[in-house]
Structure 1
Amino acid sequence: MSVASMLEDASTFWIPTPMAQALANRVEAWVRCGHTGGLIIGEARLGKTKAVKALQHQLKNRSGQPIRVLYTHYGLRDVETIRAVFAKVARALDFEVKRKTADVLLENIVIRLADAAQANDTRQVVLIVDEAQLLTIAQLNAFAEIYNDLVNLHINCSVFFIANQDQFHTLGKALLRAENRYLRERFFNNFDYFYGIRSEEELKACLHEYDSLIVSEASSICATEYFCPTLYHQGWRLANIAPLYWRHYRERYGIPLGLNSWGMAQFTRATNLLFMDYLPGCNDKTDQVLMEACVIKSLEGAGIAPSLVSLVGASG
């Protein structure tokens, strides 16, 4: 794979961010305190999914032993039955699901999670459920059943649900009903918001990850040196552009569009354009006019402004 392809492959490219680290710290604290569940909620396209997938190699108990993290997600096409929930989870755990009853699927899931919990002396395992706003109360009962069976095996399972804020209202209201208190207290007493980039400091930290990203192990060349060799050898780093970059994002998009934070999908798109297409043409680190033009063009190409609104009008 070429270096450009590595950055352009949106399905796999990921850099550590302050927001992802904050999420990891929060979830690890919940798990260490023995909480059985929690809700991570945020707007769409902020980077929630990749941040939670990164947890698969990060969580540890207080003794420094790894806590396995298993991941599944839901979609609008999924059938709204208990068996469908078990089938989805079982498939995510690499089980064959055809012609299996709900009871057999549940047994498969419990055995796999129990095995995963043997990685640490505290017998802990984490299950991440993405796109949770698409679930129903009945489907949440399936996770309660998984949890109960694991308790009977003396396994400590924490189930964390990831949801889009814009679509969670219906499920959230249902969870507040008295008859659903057991689900609320088991899985939803804890919640935290996930944000995109909200400050120049966070932006600089993300840009620094590009400066640290090794793209050629043979020669230890980082991404900045690879794409902008002239600027790099003048002592310039991509993180240096953070004040200029943040100002133009805020003035042109963040404030006018009322955005609470800058989502990672749009940030990555803009930064890849800046890094691979525009900044390589800049040969003087003191040429602020040219760098400013590069930033503006990159932001324009990132699709931050909702162009569909101009076609059909704003909703509601």
Structure 2
Amino acid sequence: MLTRPLLPPRTHPIYTGRYLLGTNEITKMYNTVSRWIECRSPGGIIYGRQRIGKTRAIRFLKEFLPNEFGTDLPVFLYLCQEYIRPNELVFFEDLLRNVDHPLATAPPARAAVKRERLYNFLIVRGLKTVEKRVIFILDDAQRLKEPHYEWLMDIYNALDRANIELTILLVGQKELKNQKNLFVTANKAQIVGRFMIHEHEFYGLKTIDDISACLQGYDTDSKYPADSECSFTQYFFPEMYQEGFRLSNLSNDFYQLFLDMRKEYGIHGPLEVPMQYFTRAVEYILKTYGVEGENVEQLTIAQIREAILFTNYIEMEISASKLK
């Protein structure tokens, strides 16, 4: 029987972008981070090129780590700012805002006060957990300067004195790896040993298997509404889905098109498709050719190519190649 939930217009996650799908690379990263936490590591770095899916991967960590380490596990996410000059007051106030502290901006405006508020807040949250643990994820960590790491060490030490395990995950672009190398060269062992001893390079989609795993997420892993059995593919192509169509059947077509289009536009180097552009292409296909769009009876190579061109993936890769 053909089933498709009735939803208000443009409220499906494909329109809002509010959805998470696991990929091969996200699974690798999650397993790596889990080992770091299990081994009580104080931290590690995760780095990769721009727009390859690190932000989605961070959201995946934030949502699913509590499933493994306790539902009461506090996982805080902080988007690092572009600091011209490191300022202790500004840094601790920013951290307080990101953990939703009710007195983040309350007076007095002194670094020592903000610091103590953060310490106390994290200690209280950590003590409420079974494993006495707190996780901090710092996105765009390549923006941090050396004094920021010194202040992070102070936070770590304060929680350690209270018998709270703190793991800090530094996520950023490839400059973050370069920053680690500079710290090693400068003998900043206290920083490298505390927060950078572990590292994981995050990649985009590189193989047919990577593409297939992502498309299978739309076919089977995704369900909306959550209490329904309707996957994203089924919602947008209900009749085709009932007849056996799955987006993952197009994995080879996607892969070959990416290779052919790179060659056509003179883009060299190994294939690594950023998740941002891949998901945009899939969303374009679902919205444009699905039941709420042209309602086609089958998808063609030309339509997939159109979707890839729509994302500006080619323009991005051409620009990136000029910067090398």
On whether the aligned pair clears a TM of 0.5, the verdict is yes
The aligned residue for residue 127 of structure 1 is 136
Cα separation, 2, equivalents of 1:262 and 1:70: 28
Question: For the Cα contact (< 8 Å) 2:86–2:145, is it kept in 1?
Answer: yes
Q: How far 1:252 sits from its partner (Å)?
A: 1.4
Amino acid at match of 2:25: M
SS at match of 1:107: helix
Q: How far 1:207 sits from its partner (Å)?
A: 0.8
Cα separation, 2, equivalents of 1:253 and 1:223: 29
| 1:107-155 CA distance string (max 9 Å, x none) | 2222222223235333111111111101111111110111111111111
Instruction: Decide whether aligned partners of structure 1 residues 209 and 61 sit closer, same or farther in structure 2, where only a CA change above 3 A counts.
Output: closer
SS at match of 1:90: helix
The aligned residue for residue 262 of structure 1 is 273
Bigger relative contact order, structure 1 or 2, given CA contacts below 8 A and separation 6+? Answer: 2
Worse-matched range after superposition: 215-224 or 107-116: 215-224
Match of 1:201 among 187, 200, 209: 209
Cα separation, 2, equivalents of 1:239 and 1:309: 28
SS at match of 1:13: coil
The count of corresponding residues between Structure 1 and Structure 2 is 309
| 1:165-187 CA distance string (max 9 Å, x none) | 1x336633431244421011111
Match of 1:23 among 29, 51, 54: 29
Q: Does 1:190 align with 2:201?
A: no
SS at match of 2:314: coil
Question: For the Cα contact (< 8 Å) 2:289–2:296, is it kept in 1?
Answer: no
SS at match of 2:224: strand
Worse-matched range after superposition: 58-67 or 192-201: 58-67
In angstroms, what is the RMSD of aligned CA positions? 2.8
Question: For the Cα contact (< 8 Å) 2:289–2:295, is it kept in 1?
Answer: yes
Q: How far 1:242 sits from its partner (Å)?
A: 0.8
The aligned residue for residue 180 of structure 1 is 188
Cα separation, 2, equivalents of 1:62 and 1:232: 34
Q: How far 1:224 sits from its partner (Å)?
A: 1.6
The aligned residue for residue 158 of structure 2 is 149
The aligned residue for residue 243 of structure 1 is 252
Question: TM-score, normalising length from structure 2?
Answer: 0.85
The aligned residue for residue 289 of structure 2 is 278
Question: For the Cα contact (< 8 Å) 2:13–2:19, is it kept in 1?
Answer: yes
Cα separation, 1, equivalents of 2:217 and 2:147: 42
The aligned residue for residue 229 of structure 1 is 238
Mind listing any 5+ residue stretches in structure 1 that lack a counterpart? none
| 1:24-43 CA distance string (max 9 Å, x none) | 11111101111111000111
Instruction: Decide whether aligned partners of structure 1 residues 47 and 177 sit closer, same or farther in structure 2, where only a CA change above 3 A counts.
Output: same
Amino acid at match of 2:156: Y
SS at match of 1:295: helix
Q: How far 1:309 sits from its partner (Å)?
A: 5.5
Cα separation, 2, equivalents of 1:37 and 1:63: 16
Instruction: Decide whether aligned partners of structure 1 residues 234 and 133 sit closer, same or farther in structure 2, where only a CA change above 3 A counts.
Output: same
Instruction: Map 1:293-304; keep pairs closer than 5 Å.
Output: 293-304=302-313
| 1:235-274 CA distance string (max 9 Å, x none) | 1111111111111112213893425521111011111112
Q: Does 1:162 align with 2:136?
A: no
> Identity, % of aligned pairs?
22
Question: For the Cα contact (< 8 Å) 1:114–1:150, is it kept in 2?
Answer: yes
Cα separation, 2, equivalents of 1:284 and 1:138: 59
Mind listing any 5+ residue stretches in structure 2 that lack a counterpart? 1-7
Q: How far 1:82 sits from its partner (Å)?
A: 2.2
Amino acid at match of 1:201: D
Question: For the Cα contact (< 8 Å) 1:279–1:294, is it kept in 2?
Answer: no
Cα separation, 2, equivalents of 1:80 and 1:217: 44
Q: Does 1:9 align with 2:20?
A: no
